[in-house]
Amino acid sequence: MIQIIIALILCAIIFAVLNIYRRFAKSKSKLTELESDFGKPESEFVKFEPELVNLRVFIDDQLQTFPIFESDIFIDGETTYFVPLNIVLKKIEAEIRCVDPNVICIINKSDLNFFIKLEESSSRYRVFLGNDISDLTEEVRVYEKNYLIIDDLVYLPLHEFPKFTDLDIYDDSEDILIYSREYYESNHIIYKNIGHQISLDTYINDIKIDSPVFKNTSRNNDSYNVSDFILLISAFEALGAQVSFVKPNKIIAQTDSLGMIEIKACVSVDTANNTVTEYSDGYKSCYIVDDKIYIEFCGIRVATGGSLKQNDDNNMFVYTPDYERLDIPANLEEAYKYFDEDLEAYDIEYIKNSTKHEMILMHMGFGLWIRNNWLYPSTARIAKAFIQNGITHPDDISTYIILGYHNYLNNRPSNINSIIPRIRVWTFWMIRKFVSLSKCVSIRNRR
């Protein structure tokens, strides 16, 4: 009898191991399929039809007359502008050499040499960092993007230029500002990372702050403006705070609603005058210039423990934790209505037709936007609706919202009780398996 029992137990173990193996093999096959699919050239996913646009372009503050094209191809999640490579580089006196008909060598003033290899078959280009043509085989630094040839000129995506030239690109309202780093540092840097003044309005708890905004040159590639500098005194006055100093290493703001806020850890002191010139505490960086304290806008969020709104390119918003944000949906129905009105038609169509795995791939794009704008840090509004149903982690909540919207678009049950049980089993595993592929489609890059 004991032998029979042992044999049955062994059979059960073998059956369980085989079942696990089959599931693993199936999931691995699906992962391979996804990797193969998303390994296709970007041009297979999107349309590529450039159009001439009427924009003013400045290089080192000089207005340019060359044509600029906008394409509906998506690069890094947004439309991009194409400008003529040779003309732009000649304006900044970079040396250009044609190694062969399909390879261009760029020699920057910083002595960094890049080789651009144009691939005619795919209309894409690759960039290599090196000293001579032999380095092309090493692929030290490679980008793969689309290019255009118009009237025998090579046009490359404008926002890619800082990766292979001594240029920085700034958008200022309707103008595009291109600066060589040498010129910008000589003419526009106020102090360290504080650059030129930009046209943005700033708000704390929906109250406009009376402060100029200055570009944070160390964060020029950020998709949003929340790291740019404003006057610290203006920000805390909007909170009704009294600002004082405990020298040499603290700035203190006393508020009625939030209590005492500290910015500490002095990192630079002018010993001759015994004055602090820089403060830093984690993400809160401050500079003192001409007796005025400048702070990164996102540093106010960190200092107050509040939240940011990240869907406005022309304004910056921060909210303290005690302020109820009425712009956040209170329930799923309001969230779906918001998406209907805010998302582009092709985004909505993509979500509607997405598979379960493709929805998980949105976790670090569309899902990140939901978490940053609606859930961090919050226990109110839509977050409260999930917390009351036992779902507390923002990662889970954003996943449920995406699934619910998918169901809503397909006329399936989409209320909170109908979506939670369906994905509770696979959400954690799938997020970890497929999150690395999350940048492949424009909707997944939404923030």
Q: What is the pLDDT of residues 164-187, one digit of tens each?
A: 888 888 866 578 889 998 899 899
What's the structural domain count of the chain?
A: 3
Candidate from 192-196, 266-270, 326-330 with smallest mean pLDDT: 266-270
Q: Are residues 421 and 374 in the same domain?
A: yes
From the list 249, 276, 278, the residue with the least C-alpha distance to 265 is 249
Q: Which of 281, 298, 319 is the last residue of a domain?
A: 319
Range of the domain at 73: 51-169
Residue 17 burial by Cβ neighbours in a 10 Å radius (0-12, 13-18, 19+) = exposed
Confidence band, pLDDT 50/70/90 cuts, at residue 148: confident
CA distance linking residue 157 with residue 79, whole number of Å: 10
Whether residue 83 lies inside any domain: the answer is yes
Q: Both tokens of residue 354?
A: 């997405």
Whether residue 249 lies inside any domain: the answer is yes
Q: Are residues 353 and 246 in the same domain?
A: no
Each residue of 384-418: pLDDT tens digit? Answer: 999 998 899 999 999 999 999 999 999 999 999 88
Q: Are residues 235 and 314 in the same domain?
A: yes
Whether residue 282 lies inside any domain: the answer is yes
Whether residue 291 lies inside any domain: the answer is yes
Q: Are residues 277 and 337 in the same domain?
A: no
Whether residue 163 lies inside any domain: the answer is yes
Whether residue 7 lies inside any domain: the answer is no
The answer to whether the CB of 436 falls within 8 A of the CB of 68 is no
Higher pLDDT, residue 259 or 39: 259
Q: Are residues 145 and 245 in the same domain?
A: no
- Give residue 438's pLDDT: 42
Q: Are residues 139 and 234 in the same domain?
A: no
- Give residue 275's pLDDT: 53
